[in-house]
Structure 1
């Protein structure tokens, strides 16, 4: 443990190998057990029964095997992270989407996981000024998140939204939703890197949202100006900067300032390396963990 944080990994760090079948989740669990990581967060990218990460498509026996594997390896399954979209004006459709997320609350409970992150909107940016769109969507986002949080509270599970997807990636929008939901077990998955996707300074936005953090994601990005031409493999921020995933500590984020903000805060809990770079994912995960630990120790 470093600075009262329990450091580990998001399964998304291993997506390159999980998605191709080069590694299975039990193999990832064994790798984490042999590493210096202290927990594993599960990021479910599909509801299908053949998803490499447990989903609502799994039968109970398959879910139980994953929990048994993690228990046997001594790896804590810390958080279950899923996508969700509550931007709809159709009450019946919203109820269907809420019911799906509640099923993931049940799945988390069966896995022994006490934290669930669900998205609240699509990832794609809305062209132009999306403020009026956000204002219209806020009611359904808040209603759905509140109902899910209340359902999860009965099982002792904390829920959260992430600064994830351009529509709710800004720090103030995340906080506005948290305050509107107004449930003690509804918080934020605080990704220290994702703020650059909407051109915010992470060292500022992280400090603003740390009081509401359920879990912290450590990530890094290479950042190039709008008029650069870095070639393939980059994506653009809302304002047009070029971004590419990096090993934590190798990119352009001011991670020393972010580490100081975390260390100086009241946050005590899980922190997950979320590697999205081009390097081999096992190298990216292990080096990212070592760099995050050093950054926190030196903060």
Structure 2
């Protein structure tokens, strides 16, 4: 298994210090990563930047573990949902240019008076349409367990089965299951045959005395991102399980805590490499 860091882990630094993707790639090389995970939200002038990024990846010999598309299929308008399909199709094209076979995708989130059934139907429809191009290009669309819809493993599993494409699988986010009160170990057992990408993440319950905003769970519990190993996720169970199924893909660190993200991500890399021995 290979270790990468999601560019999103450095989100606060990116905005505070106006980092570009090139700055992130230089950081990744400095801390000895095997590869990097890039996101669509950080392009300023995509067409101009991609050429520069591809050249930099080649010069640093850094492969891309996944390219993340920030889509949402839970929209009432058919036109809006069609735009989300185009967003994923564009993501597939970018992923090919970056040399990765994994595009991280979202499903969507419930809003207003929409029901789970409404949302699921739209998600399945959108992913089926997106899967056409994914199959043509042999690029995996990897659903991240994220938000109120497809936050639980059974929801991810059900959507994957309904889409019924060999190129629609799971980005298994080890921490996000805690936000919907599912134990990550149980979620792993449910999805172990469908994983093509892994987000290595951890959360802890926020201390009431802490002056910070965390992530509020579906039951109102406030969680705070932390360096993997300092939170509630049994990461050794996940790594052992991945070894059992002979997973040979990427483990991509996604840090969402309040400490210096560059320092925290580097520590996360050290801990993950120790677990992989």
- TM class by shorter chain equals over 0.9
Q: Which residue of 2 aligns with 1:172?
A: 154
Give the secondary structure class of the aligned counterpart of 1:85: coil
Superposed, 1:106-117 pairs within 5 Å as 106-117=93-104
- Return the offset for 1:229: 5.7
Provide the rounded CA distance (Å) in 1 between the counterparts of 2:265 and 2:239.
Answer: 18
Q: Which residue of 1 aligns with 2:199?
A: 217
Determine which of 189, 214, 217 is the counterpart of 1:234.
214
- Return the offset for 1:223: 2.0
Superposed, 1:238-249 pairs within 5 Å as 238-249=218-229
Give the secondary structure class of the aligned counterpart of 1:222: strand
- Return the offset for 1:8: 1.2
Q: Which residue of 2 aligns with 1:296?
A: 276
Determine which of 20, 29, 51 is the counterpart of 1:33.
29
- Return the offset for 1:231: 4.2
- Return the offset for 1:106: 1.5
Inter-CA distance 126–238: structure 2 relative to 1 (3 Å threshold): farther
Determine which of 1, 8, 18 is the counterpart of 2:4.
8
Q: Which residue of 2 aligns with 1:277?
A: 257
Provide the rounded CA distance (Å) in 2 between the counterparts of 1:206 and 1:17.
Answer: 31
- Return the offset for 1:143: 1.4
Give the secondary structure class of the aligned counterpart of 2:52: helix
Q: Which residue of 2 aligns with 1:206?
A: 188
Superposed, 1:22-171 pairs within 5 Å as 22-45=18-41, 50=44, 58-59=46-47, 61-122=48-109, 133-171=115-153
Provide the rounded CA distance (Å) in 2 between the counterparts of 1:18 and 1:207.
Answer: 35
- Return the offset for 1:117: 1.1
State the TM-score, normalizing by the size of structure 2.
0.92
Provide the rounded CA distance (Å) in 2 between the counterparts of 1:18 and 1:215.
Answer: 24
Provide the rounded CA distance (Å) in 2 between the counterparts of 1:94 and 1:235.
Answer: 27
**Residues 128-166 of structure 1: per-residue CA shift (max 9 Å, x gap):** xx9x81112222211110111221221221112110112
Give the secondary structure class of the aligned counterpart of 1:45: helix
Inter-CA distance 126–93: structure 2 relative to 1 (3 Å threshold): closer
State the TM-score, normalizing by the size of structure 1.
0.86
Q: CA RMSD in A?
A: 2.1
Provide the rounded CA distance (Å) in 2 between the counterparts of 1:255 and 1:160.
Answer: 20
